[in-house]
Amino acid sequence: MKKSGNWPVGHGRGLCAALLVALSGCSKQGTDTTPTVTPPKPKEAAAQLQQAFVGANAEVKNTATVASEALRTSDFEKAIQSLQTIKASQNLTFEQGLAVYNSERALEARLIAGVDAGDANAKRAYELLKARRRN
């Protein structure tokens, strides 16, 4: 074998092959929970929220269902309140925390778009959201 520096050429190919296998290896099927640059649409966030809380205790699961439905129907105040209640819960999993985060981003983007369009309900809800963040 020819040597390139201290590494034999064959070892470099083997290392590349191992990296490709590792990076393309087992992936979890189902809902993508990775954060994105652009916020998800409210309906996508609502679906992710429901999926993340399928195995949660009844109280938190019910609150997630309320938040999910509020996101779908643009019931802004209810969505804010429900997401805040979930965030106050103890022992959220990573997937659940990410679903709440994505839901908040979707809600905020929707509120900002509504404020820009002159929607009084969106403006009131956005002020509520900002006030809750300060506390």
What residue spans define the domains of the chain?
42-134
**Nearest by Cα to 111 from 71, 67, 84, 56:** 71
Could you identify the residue written with the tokens 């802004």? 76
φ, ψ for residue 8, nearest 5 deg: -65, 145
pLDDT at 67 over 50: yes
The distance of Cα 21 from the centroid of its chain, to the nearest Å, equals: 27
pLDDT at 55 over 80: yes
- Which SS3 state, helix, strand or coil, does residue 89 take? coil
Provide the percentage of residues in the chain whose pLDDT is more than 90.
64
Res 66: pLDDT: 97
